[in-house]
Amino acid sequence: MSANQICFVTSYPLERQDLGGGSWVDRRLVRTLQAAGHEVEVVCVTGPPGQWTSEGVVQRSAGSVPLEIRHDRRRLWGVAAAMTASTQPYLCHKFTSAEGWPQAAGLLAERATGRTVLTSGWPALLLADAARVPVAGHVAHNVESAVAAEHAPLPLRALGEVPRLRRAERWLLGRAGRVLALSRTDACTFREWGVPATALPVPLTAAPVPDEPSVPAARTSEPPWGRTPVPPLPERPRPPAVVGFIGKAGWPPNTRAIRALLGPVHHRLTQLGVPVDYVLAGRGTEAVSDHPRVVATGRVADTADFYRRVGLVVVPRFGASTGVSVKVLEAAENGVPALVPSALAAAIDPAGPWLVADDTDAMAAAIARWWRLGQSPDVSSWVRAQDSGQTLAALDGVLPVTSA
């Protein structure tokens, strides 16, 4: 495949890891494209106005488009009023009603000239539609209407958010030349809608494993039967008997997960006599720092430090499942296994090295087995077995063939 000039459109700057897992995915996809020789520049739907270079790529944004408006009552009422006079869902209106939306669309139309457009995430696809630029491929992080069906607040449901979003999502996905879904199960859902979609594996890199200390051979005299005893192999250090959770506590799925972990799961572990401690990381987790088994909470400057402190990451989800969890993949890269529901395991890799549980009792039982046995699935070997060539092949499959 010859090199292309690519305009990669994403929701927010690649370096803004604090805003969610989207940047974690997009950084890896951009690097994969660059490593294949493609010339990539990034247009961000939200972010500071202007141009800057970060994460090894030039990024641009028109500014004045907020990522969230949940705490802006004036904007929320404005969006609600607009929804009564149109058929657009909230997840469209909250972006299209922004003051800087026309400028953002204009910037993308300018940068897309002569370039192949790849969009990643819902806001990027929405902006491409506003800019009236063709989309060669779209990376779907979730089935957005499934998220709304599970978590949309009552006022939005009353305004018909779920059916509105389902119609808008199907129509916008149909605009893309090809849809690449991060989740295997989401790809199946899109195909059921009549949207051509394939699963896109995220390229992973295993963190280096510390060298095992060498053990000198024991100096012993030759035994009378003529065999020299073999010294025992060094034991691998037992992972920390600490359960970790990382994520913004204010996001509804995370709020529910934290309540489950520190509530019924903790109570069941207490009954089972399993005294695990918890490290919770992420904005807003300070609110539960007074829990008797929580040893640390709050934002983390270095996620690698968080993973060094824990032996198991819990990623509980309840209800409908869509997308993949970046935290599962991030933990695997750091050699830390994850406890996940079966739907999430199927979305990433049903044969992967996961601990699987679908309710709070099963979660407690799985944590208890892990704690008592002191053994963890070999996630590092799974990471090393992932073939980044499959990611590149999927991305190249949506790019036009150019002359050398």
Q: What is the pLDDT of residues 264-294, one digit of tens each?
A: 999 999 999 999 999 998 888 888 888 988 8
What residues are paired with 179 via a beta bridge? 138, 197
Enter the pTM of the model.
0.84
Better-scored residue on pLDDT, 369 or 212: 369
What residues are paired with 137 via a beta bridge? 118
pLDDT tens by residue, 39-85? 999 999 999 999 999 999 999 999 888 888 777 778 788 888 888 88
pLDDT tens by residue, 180-215? 999 999 999 999 999 999 999 988 887 765 544 434
Q: Is 184 exposed, middle or buried (0-12, 13-18, 19+ CB in 10 A)?
A: middle
pLDDT > 70 in the chain, percent: 90
How confident is the model at residue 222, as a pLDDT?
A: 42
pLDDT > 90 in the chain, percent: 52
How confident is the model at residue 401, as a pLDDT?
A: 64
pLDDT tens by residue, 104-118? 999 999 999 999 999
For residue 299, pLDDT over 90 is answered with no
From residue 137, alpha-carbon distances to 116, 173, 400 in Å are 9, 10, 10
In angstroms, how far is CA 339 from the centroid of its own chain? 15
Q: Element (H or E) spanning 50, and its range?
A: strand 50-54
pLDDT tens by residue, 142-172? 999 998 888 788 888 888 999 999 999 999 9
pLDDT tens by residue, 84-106? 888 889 999 999 988 899 999 99
Q: 15-19, 131-135, 178-182: lowest mean pLDDT where?
A: 15-19
For residue 227, pLDDT over 70 is answered with no
Give the SS3 label for residue 197.
strand
Specify whether the backbone of 335 is left (phi greater than 0), alpha (psi in -120 to 50) or beta. Answer: left
* Rounded CA separation 3/403 (Å): 9
Q: 125-134, 222-231, 247-256, 332-341: lowest mean pLDDT where?
A: 222-231
How confident is the model at residue 2, as a pLDDT?
A: 65
For residue 127, pLDDT over 90 is answered with yes
pLDDT confidence of 120, banded at 50, 70, 90? very high
How confident is the model at residue 369, as a pLDDT?
A: 93
For residue 236, pLDDT over 80 is answered with no
Better-scored residue on pLDDT, 2 or 348: 348
How confident is the model at residue 319, as a pLDDT?
A: 66
**Any residues with CB less than 8 A from the CB of 59 and at least 6 apart, and which?**
13, 14, 41, 42, 43, 44, 47, 51, 52, 53
Q: Is 61 exposed, middle or buried (0-12, 13-18, 19+ CB in 10 A)?
A: buried
How confident is the model at residue 321, as a pLDDT?
A: 74
